Structure 1
Amino acid sequence: MAMTEASGGPLALGLDIGGTSTRAVVIDRAGRRLGTGRADGANLTSHARDKALDAVSAAVSAALATVSPASVRAAVIASAGDNNLNRPEVASALASRWAAAGLTCPYEVVADAVAAFVAGTPSPDGTLVLSGTGSLAARFTDRRPAQIIDAHGWLLGDLGSGFFLGRSAVQVALAALDRHTRPGPLGLAVLQTLTGATDFDPASRQVVSDLVLAVHAKPPVALAALAPLVTAHAGVDPEADRLIAAAAATLLDQTSMVRTAGDATPIVLAGSLLTTDTPLARLVRSGLAATWPSAAVGVALDGAAGAAWLAARSLDAAGAERLHAALFG
């Protein structure tokens, strides 16, 4: 049965658009999640426009399946590559999709980092460190990014990200094959995953060609899917340890660029590589604790809910603190 405004007041919609997945959630003023949706990645930096907007439509439609779109009175769209959504041709196409979903409320576009930060702490000030498909470090003042390091996308940056780890893992395999040597455990896992090869002559150029073709047959951002191979080989292959250490060092260096040594404001970790118990997360946590021992470290597990909270706050600023506690504990 569809919810109506009369049954619980105006609703808020949050949308979190990433490179790997797109998530939507509708909440009421008590913080109850009344509808959720999930679809493929829709970051316009790494996905074609129509494919990305199809994913947005799918996630929003699923979230609205059990609520009345007319009851949604505010919305925030948090997106990696958020400036793409403000390009006139994209904004026009998105507005058409919005109306087709039955939504009549306006929406605000913010960076995905903003939604992640507010999902990880009730504090208005602090630091966000993110490593998922992409990566960044950011300093927040009054819940607005005052400084961001990286977040430049796979072609120009994301140096502590899942994409960085995945691409580097392929490079490890290629470097061994170029030397006519059999790759180590990580390189072998990359070859088997991408080409199915298990028994091969490392001096054969065909093996190299097959691997290169397999990589180029998919969108570049798909290399991020290889990051779990790297973390799974921590302690097994020195190459995996080297890559993870490099990613951790990059993230910690970037954090030091946006955060002074004596800063005691909270630190929020975001992205699957930092919010789960990965070797990268452990190294980053250890480095953060060594440099900022007085800072609380939280995790952002639901960027869509962070976006929804931002939207709901515009409807009821006085109840924002209570709503945050209801949504995130």
Structure 2
Amino acid sequence: MSVVLAVDAGGTSTRAVVVDMSGRSLGYGRSGGGNPVSSGRAAAAESLAEAVGGALGTAGVAASSVSSVTIAMAGAATHLPPADPSNDAIGDALGACGVVAPFALRSDLLAMFCAGTPDLDGYAMVAGTGAAAIRVRGGQVERAVDGMGWLLGDSGSGFWIGHAVARAVVADVDGRGPSTPMTPALLGMLDLTPTETTRTVPRAPALQQLVDVVYAMRPVRLAQFAPLAFAYPRDPIARQIVDEAVGALARTITAAVVPDVDGPLVLGGSVLLRQEEVSTAVEKTWRARGRTGAAHLVEDGTAGAAVLALRDGGTVVDGEVFGRLVSSLAALR
């Protein structure tokens, strides 16, 4: 029996699924972050091998029966051919599991879109650690907006919000910004205790410790502070951060819309999934541009990676196949 292997390699977790050509999910595996950009090559390869091994094991199929592999992930690797040296770790991880079939790298945002609908045209937005939107036409990404990473973009993302929270807290402790309840909450998350500046110490010890701890983090880890902005809706500082994030995401989805592509709209990522006011505002902005399609929330792009794998293998993924895929995958999780 010939099967395809689909992998959704995210910055936080990696999910793999083995699917037969009718769209039936046979095996599922999960592990840690599998994106080489955010996790590093060695750690990403280890996570990929663990997830793939788990999927093959639960499916009860031989690695030799895998006819093709489709891997959805964020980052520049999706723009490079699989044979590029920067992708050697992926080939090595698959080889360690006995998988010798060729692999294709696809956009994680396209996988997110395909996880929400079998339609070939529409839009997707993700706002998790990062943030981006795409327009899909004919099953391919026609336009991508933002997703430029923590240094140049990802406006409205979990990182973007968390960074704003951290800056507000630092300004509060430093005495050059207004007081905010986010300050004791963030210091508590880092096990730091607020202290006053003394005559012999020019800077409050807690502030110096906060600076040291934050600068020691990988920048994307600032996303862990994002929930604090939503935890205090009556705090004007937190409210301003949320409002600016909503505005940024609204501008991103607006930039993707064209008159001749209606929908649907697929939304994913922790900010959109966990914060209803944000997803509602994004959908409202999208509809204000004349869009009338359905809106879907999806937890991750695993099913979408499988859709792409099936299409790469020649299977037409209609509503029936899509329904079979989604329901059988849900039963395995």
Instruction: Identify which of 150, 154, 160 aligns with 2:146.
Output: 150
Counting only pairs closer than 5 Å after superposition, residues 96-111 of structure 1 correspond to structure 2 as 96-111=92-107
In the alignment, structure 1 residue 78 sits paired with structure 2 residue 100: no
Q: Comparing 315-324 with 22-31, which one deviates more in the overlay?
A: 315-324
Q: 1:89 aligns with which of 85, 89, 93?
A: 85
Higher mean Cα deviation, 60-69 or 163-172? 60-69
Moved more, 258-267 or 183-192: 258-267
Normalising by the residue count of structure 1, what TM-score does the alignment of the two structures yield?
0.88
Match of 1:306 in 2: 304
Q: Which runs of 5+ in 2 are unaligned?
A: 328-333
What amino acid sits opposite 1:130 in the alignment? V
TM-score (norm 2): 0.87
Matches within 5 A, 1:1-329: 5=1, 10-66=2-58, 67-68=60-61, 69-83=63-77, 86=81, 88-179=84-175, 183-197=179-193, 199-201=194-196, 204-233=203-232, 235-260=233-258, 263-292=261-290, 294-318=292-316, 320-328=318-326
Whole-Å separation in 2 of the counterparts to 1:20 and 1:57 = 15
Cα distance change of structure 1 residues 284 and 187 upon mapping to structure 2, 3 Å threshold: farther
Amino acid at match of 1:311: A
Looking at structure 2, the residues matched to 275 and 100 of structure 1 have their Cα atoms a distance apart, in angstroms, of 35
Q: Secondary structure at the match of 2:5?
A: strand
Deviations 1:191-233 (A, max 9, x none): 1112332x43278432211111111232211111222222223
Q: Tell me the number of residue pairs that the alignment of Structure 1 and Structure 2 aligns.
A: 319
- Is contact 2:131-2:154 (8 Å) kept? yes
State the Cα distance separating 1:266 from its structure 2 match: 1.4
Q: Does structure 2 conserve the Cα–Cα contact (< 8 Å) formed by 1:19 and 1:43?
A: yes
Counterparts in 2 of 1:64 and 1:131: CA distance versus 1, 3 Å = same
- Counterpart contact for 1:75–1:308, Cα < 8 Å: no
CA distance in structure 2 between the partners assigned to 1:102 and 1:74 by the alignment: 13
Segments of 5+ residues of structure 1 without an aligned counterpart are none
Give me the identity figure in percent. 34
Give the alignment's Cα RMSD to 1 decimal: 2.3
Distance 2:255 2:316 in 1: 34
In 2, Cα distance between equivalents of 1:277 and 1:254: 17
- Superposed displacement of residue 82, structure 1: 4.4
For the 8 Å contact 1:41–1:55, the answer to whether it is kept is yes
Q: CA offset at residue 322 of structure 1? A: 2.7
Shift in CA distance, 173/95, structure 1 to aligned 2, threshold 3 Å: same
